[in-house]
Amino acid sequence: MSTPVAIIGSGNIGTDLMFKVKRLSSELEVAAMVGIDAGSDGLARARRLGIATSHEGVAGLVALPEFADIRLVFDATSAGAHRHNNEVLSAHGKRLVDLTPAAIGPYVVPTVNLDEHLGAPNVNMVTCGGQATTPIVAAVSAVATVAYAEIVATIAAKSAGPGTRANIDEFTETTARALETVGGAGRGKAIIVLNPADPPITMRDTVFCLVEQSEIDESAVSASVEAMVARVQDYVPGYRLKQRVQFDRVDEPFLPALGRAFRGVKVAVFLEVSGAGHYLPEYAGNLDIMTSAALRTAERLVQVAAEGALR
C-alpha cells in the first residue's frame, strides 16, 4: 500500500516532483499539493489528476481532510518559507523532506549518507549543485585526503525560478558546507553561474579537489569516481561524466583558497546533468536532480518506517 505524501510548493520543482511520484514510485502517493498562487500550473495539473489542493500554503494543507493520513511532506518552497512550514508541520508530527537550502535538518545525499539519517524528522536535500557534486567529492575522499573542494554549477538561466534566484547566498553556503560535512573535504567552496544562452544549456558541474599528497593512486581515484557516477545514475539517468578524471600536480608557495602553501594534486571532474523530461525541459537537470534525489530519499524513509511498524 502506498504512503500518502504532500507537496508544498506548486512551482517547477514541486510540479516535477508530483509527476515523478505518480510515474515512478510504487511506495508513495501524492495526496495533496498546496501553494500560494491560485492560478499556478502546478495546482491546476494536480486538480486534473484528482489530487487535493489549496492555494493557502501550509495552513491550507493542515486544513485539508487528507492531512490526517499524510505521513511525509516535501517542501519545495524557499529557505525562509521552510522555517515556518517546518515549525507548523513538526507540531503535527509530520516528517519533512526539504528541497530548499534552509538546512534545518541534516544534509542528505542518497548515494553518500542517506542511511545515517533514516530517523531524522527533517532531512535537507542540500542544493542542485550539492546533489550533483557532493558524491564526487565523497568518492575522491574515499581514497585520498581532500584538503579543499571547489565546485562550479552552471545552469540555464531559464531553469532558475524565483526561489532559486532568491536563495543564491543560501545555495553557495549550503553547498559549501555539504562538500565538507558530507563530501569529506577539509574546506569547501561553491559557485553558481546562471547562463542566459539561448537555446538553454544543460546543467554542467565542475569539481576541483586538492589532494595533499605528493603521490596518489590515480586509477583508484578514477575508479571511485566512476563507481559513484554509476550509483547516482540509478536514480538520475541523465547524470554523466563529460570526460575522464583529470590530474595535475600543484606546488604553490601560497594558495589563496587555503591561505597557505600547498603541494599535492588537483583532481578535476567534469559533469553534465540532463533531466528526464517528466514536467521540466531536459536542459533543467539542476531541478531534475533535486526532485530525483528527494524521491529516492522519501522512498527509503517510508520503507524503513514500514519495516519498523511491522516488527
d(CA 39, CA 237): 32
Q: Sorting pLDDT into bands at 50, 70 and 90, what band is 7?
A: very high
Q: What is the mean pLDDT of the chain?
A: 95
Which residues carry a binding-site annotation? 10-13, 159-167, 286
Please name each of the domains of the chain with its CATH number: 3-125+289-310 (3.40.50.720), 128-281 (3.30.360.10)
Q: What's the average model confidence in pLDDT over 187-192?
A: 96
Q: Sorting pLDDT into bands at 50, 70 and 90, what band is 251?
A: very high
Q: Catalytic residue, from 28, 128, 137, 138: name it.
A: 128
- 120 burial (CB, 10 Å; 0-12 / 13-18 / 19+) is middle
Which residues carry a binding-site annotation for NAD(+)? 10-13, 159-167, 286
How far lies 92's CA from each of 70, 206, 286, in Å?
10, 41, 32
Residues 109-133 have pLDDT tens digits of 999 999 999 999 999 999 999 999 9
Per the structure block, which three cell numbers stand in for 75?
A: 517542501
3-state secondary structure of 23: helix
H helix intervals, 153-284: 162-166, 168-181, 218-233
128 is catalytic: yes
Q: Note the pLDDT of residue 166.
A: 80
Asked if 83 contacts 96 with a C-beta cutoff of 8 angstroms, the reply is: no
What 8-state DSSP symbol labels residue 66? G
3-state secondary structure of 39: coil
State pTM to two decimals. Answer: 0.95
Residues 36-68 have pLDDT tens digits of 999 999 999 999 999 999 999 999 999 999 999
Provide CB contacts within 8 A for 176, sequence distance 6+: 188, 189, 190
Q: What's the average model confidence in pLDDT over 90-103?
A: 95
Q: What's the average model confidence in pLDDT over 260-275?
A: 96
Strand-by-strand arrangement of the 3-8 sheet? 52-54, 28-34, 3-8, 72-75, 95-98, 122-124
Say if residue 299's pLDDT is above 80: yes
H helix intervals, 114-240: 128-141, 162-166, 168-181, 218-233
Q: Note the pLDDT of residue 309.
A: 60
